[in-house]
Structure 1
Amino acid sequence: MSERRGFLRRGADDGPKASVRELLPYLFPKKGLLAGALVLSVFGAVTSLVQPLLVQQIITAVQDSEPLTWLPWVLVGIVLLDGIVGGVQHFLLQVLGEHVVLRTRTQLVGRLLHLPIAEFDQRRTGDLVSRVGSDTTLLRAVLTQGLVESVGGLLTFVGAIVAMLIIDPMLFGLTLLVVVVAFGAVLVVMPMLTRATRAAQEQVGHLTSALERAISAVRTVRAANATDREIAVVGERSTAAFGAGVRVARISALVVPIAGIAVQVAFLVVIGVGGLRVATGELPIASLVGFLMFLSYMIFPLGQMIGAVTAVSTALGALGRIQEIVRIDAEDAGDVVDDVRTSDAAIAFEGVSFRYPEAVVRSRAAAEGADAEAADELASPTVLHDVTFTVTPGSRTAIVGPSGAGKSTLFALIERFYDPTSGTIVVDGRDARSLERRALRAGIGYVEQDAPVLAGSVRDNLLLAAPDASDARLLEVLERVNLREIVDRSADGLDAAVGEHGVRLSGGERQRLAIARALLSAPAVLLLDESTSSLDGRNEAQLQAAIDAVAVGRTLLVIAHRLSTVADADQIVVLDAGRVVATGTHAELLESSPLYRELATHQLLVPADAGTQA
């Protein structure tokens, strides 16, 4: 119980973690840019270290009343060159940072869209979007906030230390003591910052999910007068994200005063002790000035290195969330292709049972606000029980039954969104698990119950199934599903916008567009899940005629609530509570299946007293 409770209430500290070794490959997408930035960083370190030496020589020459000759001009030239090098290096680092974000997002999106369907069923869309957006952006900060610059800064730091040690070992010892204490304090804070950043990114993901939910269902929210409640929900998530962000700021704020105090103490010690040594004649004034300049050149790269450590700690929190997705095997990772045929069936279910993964069920329960005890009651319910039936090639089979009987799950298993818990599904005479998913789906047209319409144009939606189809072919398939009017009524024709989620289309138009998309690929098998549920009688008859025409020579499986649309099917499978309770034709089932007869009676396909007479 405690383990399950922990799954629902997992805190940020138990979240995904990443190591510095995993971070490095993300930082080097463009080796040429990186090499250029590093060379300029080293060159900038050299020009910085030369400046205090020149200043010392100038001061010494003035004290000794010697001519300055070329020294001031060299100093001015080096200062200008240092500024130019810094600007070019900054540009290269910004470009390199953009490449980091691009490469990371490309990899992450590629992995996201290849994840098993179970992962989408247990994760919030907004959280996944947040990983692609804000989490990847944090990786850029590793480069732009000093990691590469710290390489040159390290050279400057070492050079300044050597110079200070040569100028006055005692002053250097005092300075080093202050720096070591400050840097040690920063290292103590870093793990806290990593955990806080990870928690903050988790909260941003929750906020994005809440906002995505409210926006995607805005019409339903408005119709239910739930706008204020949704605003409150998003507000709670925003407050949680704010609190997590403040915790990050609170921990980050510890670094700033530590560094600031270290700088002030170091300078005060050097000025106080160094001034005393100058007054007693133990240290030349030029050496003190040079020491102070080298001290500043040591402090600045020290700040860069502290910033780099901070940026890395922040990035590791974000990278942990990115790596959590990257580490998940792609959907087809375990595919094993086998050409051995087992039967001549187009599709066959042989003793198939199925239950959803426990993680999916618990995630759904958590999303609905269920506590751990409620999740226990819902855990891993069996959706299908020993389902067996065969679909011969070129036939038409209908799947009917009450809501929740498991009809749509059958189609999900045929498409291999999931594999059965037990039993075998045969597709084209072979075990579906021996077929590569891409090849399997290439031969199947699938229209979901709530078939989505993609934002974009009519053309965009149709080309999803057949990217090389001509305009003439697109118009032909639209004509066949009685949808030509959405093209004719717009000056944009096939480029007419359908709106977000197809909002500019009616429910029936959205469904017909999805069917047209499936028909366009001319598959060997068509799976239609409630394909006519949103159509009026006229359009249903026309669409049925189109399906009849395209079904010739193909295998058709239809899930239907309207029995009138499948009464002429070659085979009707009656499903109830995940079990096949009857199989036969319409006439046979009216005689043999009480459940089918009840469904037909409620839909007025048979007289109300037919069951009694039978």
Structure 2
Amino acid sequence: MSTPVRARRGRRTPDDGPRASFRQLLPFLFEHKRVLVVVAVLSVIGAGTTLAQPLLVGQVIELVQNGETLGALVWAIVALVIVSSVISGYQHYLLQRTGTAVVYSSRRKLIARILHLPISEFDARRTGDLVSRVGTDTTLLYAVLTQGLADSVGNALIFVGAIIAMAIIDPVLLLLIVVVIGVSIAGVSVLSGRIRKATTTQQEKVGELASSVERAVGSIRTVRASGATEREESSISATAGEAYGIGVRIAKVSALVVPIAGVALQVSLLVVLGVGGYRVADGAITIASLVTFVMFLFFLVGPLGSFFGAITSVNQALGALGRIQEVIDLPVESQDDAAIAARVTADAASAPTDSDAAIEFRDVHFAYPENVVAARRKAETEALAALETAHLATAAIDLPAGDPDAPHALDGEVLRGVSFTVPRGARVALVGPSGAGKSTTLSLIERFYDPTAGAILLDGTDVRALDRAELRSRLGYVEQDAPTLAGTIAENLRLASPEASDSDIERVLHAVNLGDVLDRNPLGVDAPVGEAGVMLSGGERQRLAIARALLAAPPILLLDESTSSLDGLNEQRMRDAIDAVAAGRTLIVIAHRLSTVVDSDLIVVLENGRVIGQGTHSELVESTPLYRDLARHQLLV
């Protein structure tokens, strides 16, 4: 049994990661523009109440110095403080709620995009990384609204108002303050870029960590049985340590940003008290003016601190948004379908069609997209490097999930001029060695990929001219390692047939010899199957997948190694069940066990992406050496 080895990713510089601009963040904010307008209005009112306070305090000091009564000034100051506090609290609530809404809307967009991506993107990416973008990356957008960006209008007004008031009171003192603040702003600008880069790298490491954990947990039995638990723990912990190290770097940079506002305030205060005290003694300004100036100084530095905090949070959010936007900008599966359909319809206008053919392959060529090829090359290279590092003799290479034919054809076409016809109502088998292109043919029929040349016809129509939903509604597809979804038996079967009744579900379960699964649990069709179907045997999971396809009752069934997990008895029962439901349907079956397909109406033999023989079992034994060798090896001749 092989030992899973984590595929280590190569190091990337922070500049290699996806980065977003502030302009790309605006659409997420503008979805909540009404609330943000309310926040902005409250910010203006709050700024007015804040700026009025030093002016009233200055008047109070002057009245006290002159021995005059204060009158209603004290109550006016109290009222301003109360109004300012109420506005601040309500703003906080609106911003928290809106920040949560931004995260929610970004997750909806990301989920919608991910679920509609071309299959090639899933073959080229790691699942855990996509999951991390939905969870961790979107959460960072929350900080944009909750840490000072949305109330920037009020802070800007307070900042500008304080500058104007301080200029009126004493331009000399203001000039000194501007010098101190200018230096602090320059320092923050330098550090903020480093925060964004480091955040992007950290989120990539978090995505890699999620992928590693998902892979290890998903194969925990293999890991335990291989005695690889400690190695997996060490490998995953190393990734977590890398994310931690980057997080520490971000914390160090942020630790330099945060105190800058405090240092600016302290230096500014010392300058004001020192120089201002001298100017009071010199008679240039009054004590009341100095006190008012100091209060405006605090109001000046407060928004400045919020601004510095906003820079930090926005740069962190932009680093995460770059990863989010990278997925959102990817084309969806059906994006170019209209143009493709128009082109193939025009090309097919003069081409003859076989009215008796359910499916026809016409000189089909196919090569995997470069992103899939690059991902698989990288995974193989990293796995080999991991083997050398760990000094292990064997390992299970952690390739991206995808077509099993792909690893054998990284440097060329998987299919090379494949042509064959599947008569309507017939049973056709595809056989051949691993990597011959058998599974790829089913992927092309389902339009997980499109041919790079040639055409595939369904009932005489090029599949690229059909709506994908319509096409797939006419096909029942059971992949080689068909997944069992966490949930109940009924939830698994209703995936393709949401309106199916319990009696329909029970019928197809008995048809595929799963009646005993219903009998052993009092919950019947509502019995849980466990995570990834762990409460079912391998053969039961395979039969459950076939039952799911049968429940939808499509006219064409595509079965990829559908009996690979069955013992001899259940294999025969499964063949009997398929025989029963195959009446009036077209079947395309991929099988390594020739015993399951010897009675097919047509057998197509594939090797290295080419059709090297077609016919019945007896015909192929006579005409095709490869098939004859396969049959002899399986004691069928």
Task: Show the 5 A alignment for 1:253-268.
Answer: 253-268=255-270
Deviates more, 1:466-475 or 1:87-96: 466-475
1:346 alignment partner, SS class: strand
Report the CA distance between 1:379 and its aligned residue. Answer: 4.2
Q: Per-residue displacement from partner, 1:287-323 (whole Å, max 9, x unpaired)?
A: 1111111110010001111222222222111111111
Q: Which residue of 2 is the match for residue 511 of structure 1?
A: 542
Alpha-carbon spacing, 1:221–1:142, altered in 2? closer, same or farther (3 Å): same
Contact 1:357–1:380 (Cα < 8 Å) also in 2: no
8 Å CA contact 1:362–1:378 kept in 2: the answer is: no
Q: How far apart, CA to CA, are the structure 2 residues paired with 1:585 and 1:435?
A: 31
Q: Which residue does 1:251 correspond to in 2?
A: 253
Matches within 5 A, 1:148-159: 148-159=150-161
Q: Which 10-residue stretch deviates more, 353-362 or 366-375?
A: 366-375
Measure the CA separation in 1 of the matches of 2:455 and 2:440: 14
SS in 1 for 2:327: helix
- The reply to whether residue 63 of structure 1 matches residue 65 of structure 2 is yes
TM-score (norm 2): 0.91
Matched, 1:15 2:17: yes
Aligned to 1:368: 380
> Which residue of 335, 353, 357 maps to 2:369?
357
> SS where residue 605 of structure 1 aligns?
coil
**Corresponding residue SS for 2:167:** helix
3-state SS in 1 of match to 2:476: strand
Q: TM-score, normalised by structure 1?
A: 0.94
Which stretch shows the higher mean deviation, 117-126 or 374-383? 374-383
Residue 31 of structure 1: aligned partner: 33
**Which residue of 2 is the match for residue 94 of structure 1?**
96
1:461 maps to which of 489, 492, 496: 492
Whole-angstrom CA distance in 2 between matches of 1:284 and 1:378: 85
Residue in 2 aligned with 1:104?
A: 106
Number of aligned residues: 600
SS of 2:487 mapped into structure 1: coil
Listed as ranges, the matches of 1:369-388 within 5 Å are: 369-370=381-382, 379-388=410-419
Q: In 1, are the aligned partners of 2:444 and 2:450 still within 8 Å (CA)?
A: yes
Q: Following the alignment from structure 1 to structure 2, what is the Cα–Cα distance between the partners of residues 586 and 600?
A: 9
Contact preservation (8 Å) 1:358, 1:379: no
Aligned to 2:404: none
Give the alignment partner of residue 482 of structure 1, picking from 488, 513, 525. 513
Q: Structure 1 stretch 113-122 or stretch 470-479: which is displaced more?
A: 470-479
Aligned to 1:212: 214
Separation of aligned partners in 2, 1:215 and 1:371: 19
Q: Distance in 1 between matches of 2:382 and 2:64?
A: 81
**Structure 2 Cα separation of the partners of residues 366 and 80 of structure 1:** 62
Give the C-alpha shift of residue 378 in structure 1. 7.1
Amino acid of the structure 1 residue aligned with 2:24: E
1:8 and 1:362 in contact (8 A); partners too: no
Residue 365 of structure 1 deviates from its aligned partner by 2.5
Residue pairs, 1:347-426, within 5 angstroms: 347-370=359-382, 379-426=410-457
Paired residue secondary structure (1:382): coil
Hey, what's the Cα distance between the residues in 2 that align with 1:391 and 1:373? 45
Which residue of 2 is the match for residue 145 of structure 1?
147
Partner of 1:346: 358
Q: CA deviation at 1:209?
A: 1.3
Looking at structure 2, the residues matched to 138 and 373 of structure 1 have their Cα atoms a distance apart, in angstroms, of 34
Change (3 A) 1:377 1:446: closer
SS in 2 for 1:21: helix
Q: Where does residue 604 of structure 1 map in the other structure?
A: 635
Q: Are 1:278 and 2:268 counterparts?
A: no
Bigger shift: 73-82 or 113-122?
73-82
Q: C-alpha separation between the residues in 2 aligned to 1:425 and 1:10? A: 41
Query: For residues 431 and 46 of structure 2, what CA distance do their matches in structure 1 show?
Result: 75
Q: Find the aligned partners of 1:278 and 1:551 in 2 and give their Cα distance.
A: 101
For residues 552-574 of structure 1, give each alpha carbon's deviation from its aligned partner in whole angstroms, at most 9, with x where no partner exists: 11110000112121111110111
Which residue number corresponds to residue 570 of structure 1?
601
Moved more, 276-285 or 125-134: 276-285
The Cα of 1:19 is off from its aligned counterpart by 1.4
Matched, 1:437 2:468: yes
Following TM superposition, by how much is the alpha carbon of 1:36 offset from its aligned partner in structure 2, in angstroms? Answer: 2.0
User: How does 1:202-241 map onto structure 2 within 5 Å?
Assistant: 202-241=204-243
Aligned residue type for 1:356: Y
Instruction: Give how far 1:536 is off.
Output: 2.1
Q: Which moved more, 1:168-177 or 1:279-288?
A: 279-288
Correspondences of 1:112-191 after superposition (within 5 Å): 112-191=114-193
Equivalent residue for 2:591, pick from 545, 560, 571 = 560
The structural deviation recorded for 1:229 is: 0.8
Shift in alpha-carbon separation, 1:76–1:466, aligned structure 2, 3 A: same
Seen in structure 2, the aligned counterparts of structure 1 residues 9 and 334 have a Cα distance that, compared at 3 Å, is: farther
- SS of the aligned residue for 1:351 comes to strand
- Would the aligned equivalents of 2:364 and 2:454 in 1 still touch at CA under 8 Å? yes
Contact 1:40 1:89 in 2 (8 A): yes
Question: Residue 470 and residue 602 in structure 1: after superposition, are their counterparts in 2 closer, same or farther (change >3 A)?
Answer: same
Residue 281 of structure 1 aligns to a residue whose secondary structure is coil
Query: How far 1:407 moved relative to its partner?
Result: 1.0
The AA in structure 2 aligned to 1:522 is A
Deviation, structure 1 residue 143: 0.6
Tell me whether 1:581 sits opposite 2:612 in the alignment. Answer: yes
Structure-2 residue corresponding to 1:534: 565
- SS of 2:23 mapped into structure 1: helix
Name the residue aligned to 1:610.
Answer: none
Aligned to 1:54: 56
Cα RMSD for the two superposed structures: 2.1
Instruction: Give 1:515 deviation, angstroms.
Output: 0.5
CA contact (8 A) 2:258 2:308 kept: no
Gaps of 5+ in 1: 1-6, 607-614
CA distance in 1, matches of 2:426, 2:170: 95
- SS of the equivalent of 1:211 reads helix
Partners of 1:491 and 1:81 lie apart in 2 by 63
| In structure 1, distance between residues paired with 2:564 and 2:40 | 63
Alignment of 1:472 with 2:484, yes or no, is: no
Corresponding residue for residue 391 of structure 2: none
Residues 38-78 of structure 1: CA distance to partner in whole angstroms, max 9, x if unpaired? 22222211111111122112222211111122222222222
CA distance in 1, matches of 2:553, 2:435: 30
Q: Following TM superposition, by how much is the alpha carbon of 1:424 offset from its aligned partner in structure 2, in angstroms?
A: 1.5
**Aligned-partner SS, 2:612:** strand
Q: Distance in 2 between matches of 1:529 and 1:270?
A: 80
The answer as to whether partners of 1:194 and 1:313 remain within 8 angstroms in 2 is: yes
Deviation at 1:357, TM superposition (A): 2.0
C-alpha spacing 1:145/1:254, structure 2 compared with 1 (3 Å): same
**Superposed displacement of residue 188, structure 1:** 2.3
Deviation by residue 1:117-142 (Cα, 9 ceiling, x = unmatched): 11111111111111111111111111
Shift of 1:368: 3.2
1:463-490 Cα offsets, whole Å, 9 max, x none, are 1111111122112111211213323322
Contact 2:184 2:261 in 1 (8 A): yes
CA–CA distance in structure 2, aligned partners of residues 286 and 475 of structure 1: 88
* Equivalent-residue separation in structure 2 for 1:451 and 1:152 (angstroms): 57
Contact 2:258–2:309 (CA under 8 A) maintained in structure 1: no
Residues of 2 paired with 1:369 and 1:243: CA distance? 25
Instruction: Indicate conservation of the 8 Å contact 2:437/2:609, yes or no.
Output: yes
Corresponding letter in the other structure for 1:61? L
Q: Which residue of 2 aligns with 1:3?
A: none
CA contact (8 A) 1:532 1:540 kept: yes
Does 1:332 pair with 2:334? yes
Measure, in 2, the Cα distance between the counterparts of 1:430 and 1:160: 73
